[in-house]
Chain A
Amino acid sequence: MAKPITYYLRTDKMPHIWCEGCGHGIVLGAVLRAIDSLDLDKDNVCVVSGIGCASRAPGYLDFDTLHTTHGRALAFATGIKMMKPGLDVIVLAGDGDLAAIGGNHLIHAARRNINITTICFNNSIYGMTSGQYSPMTPTGKIATTAPYGHIEEPFDLCELVFAAGASLVGRGAAYHSGPLSRLIAKAIATDGFAFVEAVSQCPTYFGRRNKMKNALAMLDWQKEHAVTKKAASRLSPEELADKFVIGELGTRTRPEYTKRYESIIAAAAKETDENV
């Protein structure tokens, strides 16, 4: 890292609110290392979040930061990006925030392919409200609102967002923080909507109730269940059933939204000229 991580932090706002063993600090570190590797200007980065544990991250970051309403970070970010397309706009939010209440904004931001980088801190649970199931809670797991075991299937968020039209999607994990940081750097550098699902751990409200007694056990789980795309291609569906695939999972080149809007401005100007 070219600069110390504290260069990007509002250290006077520490200590942070996250629990001991929470994976969000590791994911945030990966985000900052990515920003550092790209040598982004601090004055030119805008970080937007919604509501939840992950959404508290921007408060600790020394950029223009916006902590919005539950689920709407991408919609707020869309207004910012449209009026200041030159800003590097990054959305940090949890799985409940992005995939449940904010799901509509997620697919439409991807469909528009607006140049916003979205990092989903996926800990499979609503941590801030103390452990209700989210759209990313695996089937069979225990949550305060699933005391008999969860009966729904989780999203494959990367597939969802890629199908909606994103330029880049990928997945990483807190355990593999180095590759995660490189993936996030690639996402930020992508000219279009880029989405990274960062598998994180919530020992307090997920692990404890699901036979993983501490953060270490949860990180071990990540280590044992993460497979690269290449490794996954050699596994049968049965072998893959309890695994998750990490790495860059989809890229495509599509026109970016704010650049496309320039064509509208040009067309409108032409019409004005013709009428004068």
Chain B
Amino acid sequence: MRSETSIRLMQGNEACAEGAVAAGMRFFAGYPITPSTEIAEHLAAILPKVGGKFIQMEDEIASISAVIGASLTGAKSMTATSGPGFSLKQESIGFAAIAEVPCVIVNVMRVGPSTGVPTAPSQADVMQARWGTHGDHPVVVLCPTSVAETYTLIVEAFNISERWRIPVIFLMDEVVGHMREKVEIPDSGKLKIVNRAYPDCEPEDYLPFDADAGDGVVPPMADFGTGYRFHVTGLTHDRTGFPTTKRPEVDALIRRLDSKIDKARQEVTFVDEVLTDDADIVVFAYGITARAGAKAVRDARASGIAAGLLKAKTLWPFPDEYVERIAQKARAIVVPEMNMGQLVHEVERASKGKTKVISLTRVDAEPISPSEILSVLKEV
């Protein structure tokens, strides 16, 4: 076997699959869609080798539904798709949010709307990832910029999902999904793995949605089939898990769900800063665009411009505090995105008028190049 070495050349989608299995994921349900399909193909091959299960369902909705069902039995579960399939899954993502079922949904972004350019990269689903489903709901969205980062960040996605009992959206783009880079596979013992909290009470005392039995925010979660005999519903429910329409109980539920993000913010925010300390102009970028940003910043420095890079690996919750701090010292923040300008509005909001925010957009199915960003840096 070739993988004796811990350094392997991997495709982004393969690293996503391998990292998920390393995180303990044992159930995957999916439906073929470019450019995410390699994730399903790889998992069909490797999951049964670790006693996991793979199924190609009849559609995207069935896939996320099966994932939620499997997670209720205690299995870490995942599905993967691209924009059109992500839209189809939204209703069930809402279910996972209100029923507090941990799961990870991968969206390898391609050009849309609709069928768009199925084989070409985009970053146009960053708002859908946050606001795509109905109702108020907490969600964490992570976005890797390299193949190695895909491997480590998908592990974090599972950790966050399990720790906070929330659906985590893992947003890749076609370039990161399809490119190959070296990945140093950590020894399995060295990865930090988080598992959901199980109840320590007797089944007859179990209140499945009583957060006070846990840390006040996240209720401990029993597995189906272990004697706890509890009810899970997408209706608003009280701490027993049974439906309620009593106004104070509805209010308490929605507010508790939402409070997860405030409590989790520090723990789930992953941001890299490159040369921002003395930077006059800062590029705010994510996904593959952050790689172009890194090159542009290096080239700008070489020509005497004090540029820096704020690379967001967590898109939601939006890293407000980082942007605000940069806004206080930098003359401008440049936001290159492969969409018509989505997160730039968040950058504007978080910078509170303290700096100039410049949007750079590209929607011709090609990634933004370093030279495009560099020319903006030179103009500012």
What residues on A are CB-neighbors of B75 within 8 Å? 83
CB distance from B17 to the nearest CB of A (A): 14
* 0/1 interface trace, chain A 257-276, chain B, CB 8 Å (1 if under): 00001001101110110011
Please tell me which one of the listed residues A10, A72, A82, A87 contacts residue B92 in the complex, with CB atoms under 8 A apart. A72
What residues on A are CB-neighbors of B228 within 8 Å? 64
Within A216-274, the residues touching B (CB, 8 Å) are 261, 264-265, 267-269, 271-272
Please tell me which stretch of A43-51, A118-126, A144-152, A171-179 contacts chain B, meaning at least 4 of its Cβ atoms lie within 8 angstroms of it: A43-51
Q: Closest A-chain residue to B26, C-beta based?
A: A83
* 0/1 interface trace, chain B 40-73, chain A, CB 8 Å (1 if under): 0000010011010101011101110111111111
Q: Closest B-chain residue to A44, C-beta based?
A: B225
B1 within 8 A of A: yes
**Do most interface residues of chain B lie in helix, strand or loop, or is the interface mixed?**
mixed
What residues on A are CB-neighbors of B231 within 8 Å? 10, 58-59, 65-67
B233 within 8 A of A: yes
Within A47-76, the residues touching B (CB, 8 Å) are 48, 58-59, 62-69, 72, 75-76
B229 within 8 A of A: yes
Cα A272 to Cα B242 in complex, Å, equals 46
A10, A43, A83, A84 — most chain B CB neighbours (10 Å): A83
What residues on B are CB-neighbors of A80 within 8 Å? 69-70, 72-73, 224
What residues on B are CB-neighbors of A46 within 8 Å? 224-225
* 0/1 interface trace, chain B 248-266, chain A, CB 8 Å (1 if under): 0000000000000000000
Contact present for A64 and B230 (CB under 8 Å): yes
Contact present for B58 and A271 (CB under 8 Å): no
Number of A-B contacts (CB under 8 A): 131
What residues on A are CB-neighbors of B232 within 8 Å? 65-67
B243 within 8 A of A: yes
Please tell me which one of the listed residues A48, A69, A108, A267 contacts residue B234 in the complex, with CB atoms under 8 A apart. A69
Contact present for A104 and B59 (CB under 8 Å): yes
B91 within 8 A of A: yes
Please tell me which one of the listed residues B45, B48, B53, B243 contacts residue A83 in the complex, with CB atoms under 8 A apart. B53
B27 within 8 A of A: yes
Contact present for B58 and A108 (CB under 8 Å): yes
Within B62-91, the residues touching A (CB, 8 Å) are 62-63, 65-75, 77, 91
Cα A10 to Cα B55 in complex, Å, equals 34
* 0/1 interface trace, chain B 239-251, chain A, CB 8 Å (1 if under): 0001100000000
Cα A79 to Cα B29 in complex, Å, equals 8
Cα A59 to Cα B229 in complex, Å, equals 11
Please tell me which one of the listed residues B49, B229, B234 contacts residue A272 in the complex, with CB atoms under 8 A apart. B49
Cα A86 to Cα B27 in complex, Å, equals 16
Contact present for B225 and A43 (CB under 8 Å): yes
Contact present for A105 and B58 (CB under 8 Å): yes
What residues on A are CB-neighbors of B226 within 8 Å? 43
Contact present for B229 and A68 (CB under 8 Å): no
A10, A105, A261 — most chain B CB neighbours (10 Å): A105
B95 within 8 A of A: yes
Cα A234 to Cα B74 in complex, Å, equals 52
B113 within 8 A of A: no
Contact present for B66 and A82 (CB under 8 Å): yes
What residues on B are CB-neighbors of A77 within 8 Å? 69
A13 within 8 A of B: yes
> Given A44-B225, A79-B68: A268 and B48 within 8 A (CB)?
yes
Cα A169 to Cα B125 in complex, Å, equals 43
Cα A79 to Cα B71 in complex, Å, equals 8
B227 within 8 A of A: yes
B235 within 8 A of A: yes
A78 within 8 A of B: yes
Chain A residues proximal to chain B, CB less than 8 Å: 10, 13, 42-44, 46, 48, 58-59, 62-69, 72, 75-80, 82-84, 86-87, 104-105, 108, 261, 264-265, 267-269, 271-272, 275-276
A-B contacts, 14 of them at CB < 8 A, read: A64-B230, A65-B229, A66-B231, A68-B68, A68-B69, A69-B95, A76-B65, A76-B69, A79-B29, A82-B66, A83-B26, A265-B48, A268-B48, A269-B48
- Listed from nearest, the 9 A-B pairs whose CB atoms lie closest are A79-B69, A75-B65, A79-B70, A79-B66, A268-B48, A76-B69, A75-B62, A67-B233, A108-B58
A75-B66, A79-B29 given; name 11 further pairs at CB < 8 Å: A43-B226, A68-B95, A78-B69, A82-B55, A87-B224, A104-B59, A105-B58, A108-B62, A264-B48, A269-B48, A276-B1
